[in-house]
Amino acid sequence: MLLLAVHISNGVLEPIWFIGGFVVMVVALIPALWKLDEQDIPRIGVLTAAFFVASQAHIPLVVVSVHLLLNGLVGIILRRRAAIAIAVGLAMQALLFGHGGLDSLGVNFCVLAIPAWLTGFLFFHLRQRLRPGFALGAALGLFCATFTVLLHVSVLYFGARGDWTVLAISSLVAHIPVIVLEGIGVGFAVKVLAKGKPEWIGLQPECVTQPSDGKISSNGTSH
């Protein structure tokens, strides 16, 4: 049986676990959908698509298959609305490609959305104290990916029917390169967004003065 990254399939979990997962998902979606603004929809759509596409490039490694997660980047950009992108993305993955089961959709949501939300929360509070660039993005990307994989392994170990210890450990080891790549990827993404689209990560664009002759110097001062 091939374990698809952090996607838990149908029939793997005890009923109490997948029921609890759905309860948490519904509770998380309430604040995510609260006062949803039209301006938020394009950004949510872009991140949902990126999250969905990232799951399509699977790399088989013996008994597990891994791919990029991107939930850290989703959390940094969308924060509480990250729950929407992750829920929609996971549902599409399960319905269209069978990546994860419908009965485990709630648990798969928790495994990816909880670290994403916490990463967004940390970035929101650290961005004013630390320069939002590669280092901060990479650290939070590593944190989110590590937390996600550990949650996934814990669910398999404590909530699965039967003994999934070997697959859980295999999944943990196989995701070590993914964790590193996630850190690097989120680091570069935050660096690029801080310069090109700072409003996407909650930063104010740099003010550039417009002199009377219409010329703008590279340092923002007029000639």
Give the ranges where the chain is alpha helix by DSSP (H).
Answer: 15-33, 40-54, 71-78, 82-97, 105-126, 134-159, 165-174, 176-196
The full set of domains in the chain, from first to last, is: 3-201 (1.10.1760.20)
pLDDT for 222 equals 44
pLDDT for 5 equals 64
Cα 207 to chain centroid distance, Å, stands at 30
The 3-class secondary structure across 8-40, one letter per residue, is CCCCCECHHHHHHHHHHHHHHHHHHHCCCCCCH
Q: What's the start-to-end Cα distance of the chain, in Å?
A: 68
Characterize the bridge pairing of strands 64-66 and 59-61. antiparallel
Q: Is the pTM value of this prediction over 0.75?
A: yes
Rg value, the chain, Cα: 19
Characterize the bridge pairing of strands 3-4 and 64-66. parallel
Q: What is the mean pLDDT of residues 187-206?
A: 90
Digit-coded pLDDT (tens) for 9-48: 888 899 999 999 999 999 999 999 999 999 899 999 999 9
- What does the alpha-carbon distance between residue 94 and residue 55 come to, in Å, rounded to a whole number? 11
The more confident residue out of 212 and 3 is 3
pLDDT for 121 equals 96
Strand order in the sheet with 3-4: 3-4, 64-66, 59-61
Q: What is the mean pLDDT of residues 112-137?
A: 94
Q: What is the mean pLDDT of the chain?
A: 86
pLDDT of residue 1 exceeding 70 = no
Digit-coded pLDDT (tens) for 126-158: 988 888 899 999 999 999 999 999 999 999 999
